[in-house]
Structure 1
Amino acid sequence: MALAGELFDTPASRLDSFVAQWLLPSREWRAKMKKVVRTVERFLKEEDSQAEHLLGQKVRVLKVIQADSFGKGTALRNAAEVELVVFLSCFHSFREEAKFHQAVLSLIQKKLWRRQDLLALGLKDVYVAQGVPDALVVTIQPSEISELVTVTIVPAYRALGPLVPNFRPPPEVYESLIKAHCYPGIFSPSFRELQTDFVKHRPTKLKNLLRLVKHWYLQNARDIQVTVEQGGHSDLILWVNPYEPIRKIKEKVQRSRGYSGLQRLSFQEPSGDRKLLSSHCSLAYYEVFSSIRICLLETFSPEIQVFVRHPDQGTHAYAMNPNDLVLTFKGQLEDALGLRRNLQQLEYQGQVLQDWVVLGSYDIQDSDTLILTQKRAREASCPPN
């Protein structure tokens, strides 16, 4: 890739040559990426999934579109990230999509590992990435490509139906979108085909301009310092592009420390609340553009992550086994905070947790927040023998 300075030194009359020499993917690279994409698309189209207990109907793939820069014709050289939007027959409305989205992701995830053609291609990992909306992320290491190829699969409701040239969505589509009352942007994949086609059919000059803008940004975006803190370990300092997916941060931590569990990253907001960072989003999504400290927690099944808020010590993340007693978890807090367990009072949704009750009995979910306060001395009791 050319140095950023070369772009600034290039006269306008030679920008087309600059794009052709440095930015356009080679024909060989495009062919290799197409092979990966077609294999995944074939899997999606052939794997009709029966899920009577969840959806009450057969799940058919209506259409798969490539909604990334390759699909739009604006990809940069050696770009190894693909996004596939999958329109499914089981979604008859935005509300149904919101209701069954996670179930469909689980169905696809289970079936991926059974496909011999994907395993032969170099299937490495499959996981659900939290985002807007949640998506299935598939990493593949083809023998012909040195980089890991990341394929993001997003199920969607085909709200617009089959598109025709100069198509304009009817007002009813937007009315049903508003009435769905869901998080902003969660249904954007339903409109991705419209967005992709708009760019796809633009002149080559415009596509090359988009390539130049992306190249300029990638060369000049200011990285920020991210300090990763973890109990029992020294801080890890990383320099991160705030617009790159948070999964990239996790990959850097993985390479540095070789963790094998599920990495959970979180940061504390000015209000004192702690927020989980979604792998599918970026720091910029959380409006983080300057140096930040984030907490790393590694969990292993059946552990979940919970946040514990203490009035004097902020909010911290802990791994919790739902099968443990409350008293056992208090011992973990005692080791971390120095507050004796018999002086601790934990509350969840206004209910005081009792020491000799199993944590799972309180229906505490992943990334929920518990409130920790200190009992007065006369309220503290010794555990029974």
Structure 2
Amino acid sequence: MALPQELFDTPAYRLTTFVQQCLHPSREWKEEVLEVVRTVEYSLRKKCFQRKSRLDKEVWVQKVIKDLLALQLQDLRLVQGAPCEVVSFTVQTRETGEPITVTLVPAFGALELYLHKPQPPPEVYVSLIKACNVPGNFSPSFSELQKNFIKHRPAKLKSLLRLVKHWYLEYVKALCPRANLPPLYALELLTIYAWEVGTQENENFDLDRGLVTVMSLLTKYQSLCIFWTKYYTFQNTIIEDFVRKELKNERPIILDPADPTHNVARGYKWETVSQRARQCLKQNCCYNNKHQVCSWNVKSARDIQVTVEQCGYPDLTLTVNPYKLIKEIKEEIQETLGSSAVLRLSFQEPSGERQLLRSRDYLASYGIFSNTRICLLETVPPEIQLFVKNPSGWSHSYAVDPNSLILDLKQQIEEKEELFREEQQLEFQGQVLQDWWRLGICGFQDSDTLILSKKKAGEAQFLPR
């Protein structure tokens, strides 16, 4: 389809018209594509899989999934088949003679029983996580969910998707044909994320603001960390642990909403895309009357819920962005509590060590991109914070005065751990700490970790007379 005008020459206020006139496929073109799909599907069903596979197992085509949103590429996927290499070929249509590229990706029908349910059962993803030695290796098996994730979106969002895709194909891929660029799917997901957060999923929005927002996010690709919990959630601990670890990996991170093992942004040359996005932001399509269009307020990661635990007081719940300074989070807590003490924040993952959250860092600096719990401790100089790790591997924080005794710390531990101080043994750097020692002579630094264990039967420790 010939384009009567260029995107970069189109003023921002005319983008809706540009999409309608230039990017929406015609009825004739759709019919030609559907004919290609029917022809390919017939050939696959009737001719290609009428014999047993090399493994002497029955193999057949259950269905072919098509996606007509991308104009230049039709991604056709077999939902039940034997693993093999991807097959790609070009079909010449009868009417217009326009070539259509077809890509065939075999997949297992892993979700066939659950496609009409809001979510597959957690066992599907637990099995995927346990079986997946190559990230995203089974992603084609989730293509039906991937298609549905986009299919039921508002028409105007699909117009924005077409606009972003057109920019990507014409101004990035076409100019860098040999570069290892991200797949279109990654750009689709980023665009959906921008719309969800920027408009609160409003169906009535301005295309120009959507385009500027996506371009702005692409210029900050190093901080992108995006995921969804539509098809998989954190209700299952195996899924939760896996996704939390994935979110700690090098960014950009855009997890496939249908497959948590697949970071669709990993391993590609995003800097090239970022450079082209900066170029786009300078063009007419991002300006109205010489004024650049304002982007939506969309951060590189979603806001998360932080539950602040404080000993002896009810929990405090905050909604913050992972890229908000921890110093600013402390100030918000201080204002809420009306406290003038020094606030110390720390957090611990189930399989990790308790860590101090430093004021100059962000939650993102510690890989925190999902709802989490943190511990609040108030200290008054000269008190310092110490972490005490109990036999289960969990740590608690304590405010201690360097002039106090180890016995005083054990008293605090007794109240929190419900372990009598006479039964406690504390170690630091392999040395057992004696009850009558003052903390100041033990060489503790702020936020050091002590190891707590229960004394064996018959052991006792007495203060000197």
The TM-score bracket by the shorter chain reads: 0.3 to 0.5
Instruction: State TM-score, norm by structure 1.
Output: 0.46
